[in-house]
Chains A and B, each alone.
Chain A
Amino acid sequence: MTFGKYNNYTTIIHRLDSRIKLIALISFFVILFLPYGTGYMNLVFYGIALILLFILSIISKASFISLFRSLKGIWVMVLFLLIISLLFANSNSGDIAFSIYELDIYYSTIINVSFVLLRLIAILTASNIFSSTTKPMDMTYALEWFFYPLKLIKIPIHKFAMAISLALRFVPTITMECQRVIKAQASRGVDYNQGRLKEKFKALTSMIIPLFISSFMKSGELADAMEARGYDPDSKRTRYKVYHFGLKDVIAILILVIILAFFITACCFKFDLFSYLGVDLPKLS
């Protein structure tokens, strides 16, 4: 199971209108980039957002394992962020957490790094939910719908939408093709996992070239097939599946608005929970 691959369950999230899901995704991105006052409050609110996303993940049966597997490389990121934060002195103020030899590590650095991390995990979780519950075709439908205003200034969005939907449509096909090529070459003794770098490179070309050739052939054939069935990029198109807003969609919008309102209010008031409760935390600046 790969990260973000559509899974064919029928949970409530799967059945929601794809436009709402897209708005929800964007709203969560907004929530994750709003400032909530102090660094501690940022942590708290990003944490809340992350918990909400985890709940959504469970409801939508999006695969956690693949998500965490894709986070394996995150430690490199943490190290990188730490080094960057240490190099830029202006974030190094306030109380010192601990020092390694001459190097002082500040609380603010740790907090900064951790909320960037939280944000990253949350973004990945949100994208994972969206892409594993929304069929590629529905995604393009949502995109096309949102870009509708551009039609008024004569931008051929339906052509773009067709291109995107075709590209998405061919991702699984090419993945399958790729596996076939790998198998065919493996029977000829190619080992994609072992060997020196030069051998690996050679092994890679033995996979990529057949893949390119079959993709070009496929695209040519597809174009012919579309033309043979009378596809005209400039004519008005109808839809096989017509989308209707249902009660569940309305409820979903209401919930989304409530969540968004909560976070925006928190952002506007910059309410400092910790000083209100009188908790003494290390100074950040």
Chain B
Amino acid sequence: MSIKFEKVNYTYDIGLPSEKVALRDISHIFSDHCFTALIGKTGSGKSTLLQHLNALILPTSGKISIGSYIIDFSLEYKDGKVDERKMKRKRKKKLKDIKSLRKKVGIVFQFPEYQLFEETVLKDVMFGPKNFGKSEEEAKKVSYEALKQVDLDSSYYERSPFELSGGEKRRVAIAGILALEPDVLVLDEPTVGLDADGEKNFLNLIKDIYSRGTSIILSTHNMDLVLKYAENALLLEDGKIVLADRPHVLFKNEELLKRSVLRKPKVLEFADELIKKGLPLNVENIFDIPSLAKEIDRCKR
């Protein structure tokens, strides 16, 4: 399922002193089965963009097509000016069947505390599927499946989600979304607050989910993650997309990195040093430490 943004704008608190433009003329296509990383400074509009993906936020203007679901707030013009009356009418219309959209696109928020509330882990994971009309039995089945995917065994099922550690809580929260079996999984800064081991497991999990055919769209400040896993990097700056390309293209653009206060991944920095020393490495082949080692090995031969 592909997601298409056409000239999407979003402004917080329109008409108030605290008015803030968060997205400016965003046009982008998230292709079918993509792994896209959103990067950019805090306040560059990453979270706002993510929330547009399943209509938690509706654009101020612009058009978003999510599979066959279309949210059309594109500007109407009359005599060269924006036709405010028509826009108002458009905005008044209620979106139909928003649930079907939310089933296809699942968002995992940064803090799992925001969604856990049931007495037991299992019940909490079952909550989502049941909302989307699954029977108790079916919901249980998908929940077992989802909990297995996030590596929580049956000893967790009957525990209260509130007595778990931060990493475990997050896994329960993700299982809660996975149980919906979404086509697109959206994650808002998923690795914040996880320990090194937790982060590694978590990223492997996401890779796994991706390889099973689910699109992944995530926002992050972790450049190693972007280089290693993402197929596409989307760099946002002040609500605008400044670059949408493979991570390698981004990390070659020193000027852009500097402007967005991004740091190159450690492996690439290391590779740069090696290249300076005269080793003819091909940066394009480097994604993580094993691939760097392989590349060095190739050069030595």
Binding site for B on A (CB under 8 A): 1, 7-9, 177, 180-181, 183-191, 205-206, 209-210, 213-214, 217
Contacts and interface: CB of A to CB of B under 8 A. Distances in A.
Contact of A188 (B17, B18, B176): B176
B113 interface: yes
Contacts of A205: 117
A183 to B, nearest CB: 5
A194 to B, nearest CB: 9
Contact count band on B = 20 to 34
Given A1-B16, A7-B17, A8-B18, A187 B117 contact: no
22 contacts: A1-B16, A8-B16, A9-B17, A183-B107, A183-B109, A187-B106, A187-B177, A188-B115, A188-B127, A188-B177, A188-B180, A189-B99, A189-B128, A189-B132, A190-B131, A191-B99, A206-B115, A209-B117, A210-B115, A210-B117, A213-B113, A214-B114
B9 interface: no
A217 B128 CA distance: 25
Interface in B1-59: 16-18, 51, 54, 56
Contacts of A187: 54, 56, 102, 106-107, 109, 177
B218 interface: no
B115 A185 contact: yes
B46 to A, nearest CB: 15
Interface string B101-128: 0110011010101111100000000011
Contacts of B98: 191
B102 A186 contact: yes
A8 B176 CA distance: 40
Contact of A183 (B18, B51, B103): B51
A168 to B, nearest CB: 18
B162 interface: yes
Majority DSSP secondary structure for residues of A touching B:
helix
Nearest to A177: B114
A209 B115 CA distance: 9
Contact of B131 (A1, A9, A189, A217): A189
Nearest to A189: B131
Contacts of B176: 188
A248 B226 CA distance: 58
Contacts of B128: 188-189
A217 B18 contact: no
A1 B113 CA distance: 27
Give the top 9 A-B pairs by smallest Cβ distance, nearest first: A189-B131, A209-B117, A188-B128, A184-B115, A184-B114, A8-B17, A187-B107, A189-B132, A183-B56
Contact of B114 (A1, A7, A190, A210): A210
Contacts of A8: 16-18
Contacts of B103: 189
A205 B103 CA distance: 21
A181 B114 contact: yes
B180 A189 contact: yes
B114 to A, nearest CB: 4
A217 B17 contact: no
A21 B291 CA distance: 69
A217 B56 contact: no
B117 A206 contact: yes
A197 B114 CA distance: 23
B109 to A, nearest CB: 5
A217 to B, nearest CB: 7
A183 B111 CA distance: 12
